[in-house]
């Protein structure tokens, strides 16, 4: 079964850091570009970041640029999101999503919740 | 304020048809492919339509997508109560170098 499983969410104080992970199963991660998408409580979807198969191209939303870093380890079939200088407005469910091409996302994880609060 | 504009809500009776619009600009919808996602309550989004009008395997043909100029439309026919969900359009924005989503449309099947 094709699956993505995120982990690493939790409660963190403003200014703190957190590292999210996403492990793929049922397919080879190195065949796909990947995305992180988040959803604040009661709000819509917000794209966070994108990374190509070889990590040669990376994009970030302006709201996280300079604070978040996306990376991947194809040998471990895993994707990561390092989040630094966290703010209250970063509170959301974070999803990793497989890119089927042309930035449409065909496989999503179940999400991991990040809460930034003192 | 989302880059792509969707109506906040739509509603229709079971068995009827509904359309959800998604309005953008030449930097996003006008020159890039559009995808549509369904998010049932408490679950992760699910891809319904990609490349403007293609359906992934397993998505019934009750769901259809179209694009004209800087707008896109999702159509759902034969509405079922199980279709009650939030629907999002998404595409690449060339000017922003970012994926952009609409604000989402809540579908109520009365």
Which of B3, B88, B99 best probes binding to A when mutated, by most A CB atoms within 10 angstroms? B99
Backbone Cα Rg of chain B: 13
Measure CB to CB from residue A50 to each of B35, B56, B99 and give the nearest one: B99
Q: Is A62 in the B-facing interface, judged by CB distances under 8 Å?
A: yes
Q: How far apart are CA B110 and CA B103, in angstroms?
A: 22
pLDDT digits (tens, 9 = 90+) for A55-72: 999 999 999 999 999 999
How far from A84 is each of A15, A20, A116, CA to CA, in Å? 7, 11, 11
Q: What is the mean pLDDT of residues A91-111?
A: 95
Q: How far apart are CA B78 and CA A10, in angstroms?
A: 41
Which of B57, B88, B97, B98 best probes binding to A when mutated, by most A CB atoms within 10 angstroms? B98
3-state secondary structure of B29: helix
* Min Cα–Cα distance to chain B from A17, Å: 24
pLDDT digits (tens, 9 = 90+) for B35-84: 999 999 999 999 999 999 999 999 999 999 999 999 999 999 999 999 99
């Amino acid at each position: 079964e094709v699956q993505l499983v995120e982990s690493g969410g939790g409660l963190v104080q403003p200014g703190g850091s957190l590292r999210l992970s996403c492990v793929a199963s049922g397919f080879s991660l190195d065949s796909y570009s990947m995305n992180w998408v988040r959803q604040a409580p009661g709000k819509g979807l917000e794209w966070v970041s994108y990374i190509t198969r070889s990590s040669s191209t990376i994009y970030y939303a302006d709201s996280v640029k300079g604070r978040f870093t996306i990376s991947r380890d194809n040998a471990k079939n895993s994707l990561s999101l390092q989040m630094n200088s966290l703010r209250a407005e970063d509170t959301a469910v974070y999803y990793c999503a497989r890119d089927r091409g042309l930035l449409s996302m065909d496989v999503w994880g179940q999400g991991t919740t990040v809460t930034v609060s003192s | 304020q989302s880059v792509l504009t969707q109506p906040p809500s739509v509603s229709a009776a079971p068995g009827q048809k509904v359309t959800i619009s998604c309005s953008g600009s030449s930097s996003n919808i006008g020159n890039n492919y559009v995808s549509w996602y369904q998010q049932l309550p408490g679950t992760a989004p699910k891809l319904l339509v990609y490349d403007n009008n293609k359906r992934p395997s397993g998505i019934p043909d009750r769901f259809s997508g179209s694009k004209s100029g800087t707008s896109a439309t999702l159509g759902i026919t034969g509405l079922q109560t199980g279709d009650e969900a939030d629907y999002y359009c998404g595409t690449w924005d060339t000017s922003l170098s970012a994926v952009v989503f609409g604000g989402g449309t809540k579908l109520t099947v009365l």
